[in-house]
């Protein structure tokens, strides 16, 4: 009977193997790679000394995801401020943040002493990014970076570069490249570092010889603080202050322009009848930001160098303001 079953099953097994080969062996031949993929494989081998076989193996494992493309085309930051902030400024997030602060107080204080970044800023970043490490993402980082690097033309250059950085990172840190989960944009860990930031700004803050941003909260805290320090965070200085404008203030002119660059100075904004309180010198870089409130109203803030530092973490002024508001809540209620 066993021999009969074996003979009956063998054709099915062979058929399964042949079918599997059709699906999983497509990348085995050089002719199966797109021109962009071939160039990528060659670049990593010739310029970064990553073996061709390593890159090919990872690209074969990578899966294009329409869900990832859909997600990047509708970011939260596209919403007006009065809708955006409600996502993050909640009692639940505040309570969890206070608990996270209490549990990691020693590490947060050490990071503040080492890098000059206040604990509430670090905790707020963790809260916005991953709800203090409890929601680190559901997409394979490999899939996210492959999808956006080869199948999303608007940002393909950036994400193809991040895919290269991710492969380098996996080699340097001995990470399982096919297993790491993150955001739809390929960000990882408690603080959601992209691959290039992981390589350049992550620190081994607990001294165990490993920079682990996914499983080690000490390393994650130290790395967020180091990131801000490297982007010129100024200790004990405000990031933004509320502002009041006059009828003759050229608001459109002062708030126009793309990006987050501080286009004016404290003194120049005051000359335009913008009223705000800060002890920083008139020559300090600054910019007026308008945040949309309900019924067509706006609130105004003057962003200062530390505000710009937060936008190096995420380029959206909405993000930076949410971090500041959460940090204020944490500081006041803890």
Confidence tier at 259 by pLDDT (50, 70, 90): low
Q: What Cα–Cα distance (Å) separates residue 52 from each residue in 29, 46, 334?
A: 13, 9, 52
Residues with a catalytic annotation lie at 129
Q: What is the DSSP string of 273-326?
A: TEE----S-TTSEEEEEEEE-GGG-EEEEEE-HHHHHHHHHSS-HHHHHHHHHH
For the chain, the straight-line distance linking the first and the last C-alpha, in angstroms and rounded, comes to 73
Neighbours of 20 (CB within 10 A): 10
pLDDT digits (tens, 9 = 90+) for 87-140: 999 999 999 999 999 999 999 999 999 999 999 999 999 999 999 999 999 999
DSSP state of 224: H
Determine the Cα–Cα distance for residues 165 and 141; give it in Å rounded to an integer. 12
At 171 the three-state DSSP class reads helix
Domains of the chain: 34-75+104-231 (1.10.8.350), 240-333 (1.10.530.10)
pLDDT digits (tens, 9 = 90+) for 145-199: 999 999 999 999 999 999 999 999 999 999 999 999 999 999 999 999 999 999 9
Q: What is the reported pLDDT for 13?
A: 39
- Which residues are bridge partners to 301 per DSSP? 242, 289
- Which residues are bridge partners to 188 per DSSP? 193
Q: What Cα–Cα distance (Å) separates residue 160 from each residue in 41, 59, 296?
A: 11, 12, 40
């Amino acid at each position: 009977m066993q021999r009969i079953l074996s003979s009956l099953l063998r054709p099915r097994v062979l058929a399964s193997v042949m079918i599997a080969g059709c699906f999983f062996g497509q990348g085995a031949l050089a002719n199966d790679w797109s021109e962009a993929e071939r160039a990528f494989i060659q670049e990593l081998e010739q310029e970064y000394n990553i073996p061709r076989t390593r890159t090919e193996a990872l690209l074969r494992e990578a899966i294009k995801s329409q869900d990832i493309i859909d997600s990047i085309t509708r970011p939260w930051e596209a919403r007006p401020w009065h809708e955006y902030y409600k996502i993050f400024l909640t009692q639940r997030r505040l309570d969890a943040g206070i608990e996270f602060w209490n549990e990691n107080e020693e590490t947060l204080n050490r990071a503040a002493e080492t890098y000059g970044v206040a604990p509430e800023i670090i905790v707020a970043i963790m809260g916005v990014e991953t709800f203090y490490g409890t929601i680190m993402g559901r997409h394979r980082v490999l899939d996210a970076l492959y999808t956006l690097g080869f199948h999303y033309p608007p940002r393909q250059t950036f994400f193809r570069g991040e895919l290269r950085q991710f492969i380098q990172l996996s080699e340097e840190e001995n990470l399982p490249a096919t297993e790491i989960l993150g955001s739809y944009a390929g960000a990882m860990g408690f603080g959601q570092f992209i691959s290039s930031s992981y390589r350049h700004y992550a620190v081994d803050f607990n001294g165990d010889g490993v920079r682990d941003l996914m499983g080690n909260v000490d390393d994650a805290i130290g790395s967020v603080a180091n990131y801000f320090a490297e982007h010129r965070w100024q200790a004990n200085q405000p990031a933004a202050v509320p502002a009041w404008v006059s009828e003759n203030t050229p608001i459109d002119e002062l708030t126009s322009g793309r990006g987050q660059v501080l286009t004016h100075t404290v003194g120049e904004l005051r000359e335009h009848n913008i009223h705000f309180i800060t002890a920083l010198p008139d020559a300090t870089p600054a910019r007026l930001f308008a945040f949309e409130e309900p019924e067509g109203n706006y609130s105004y803030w003057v962003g200062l160098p530390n505000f710009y530092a937060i936008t190096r973490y995420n380029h959206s002024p909405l993000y930076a303001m949410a971090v500041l508001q959460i940090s204020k809540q944490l500081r006041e209620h803890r």
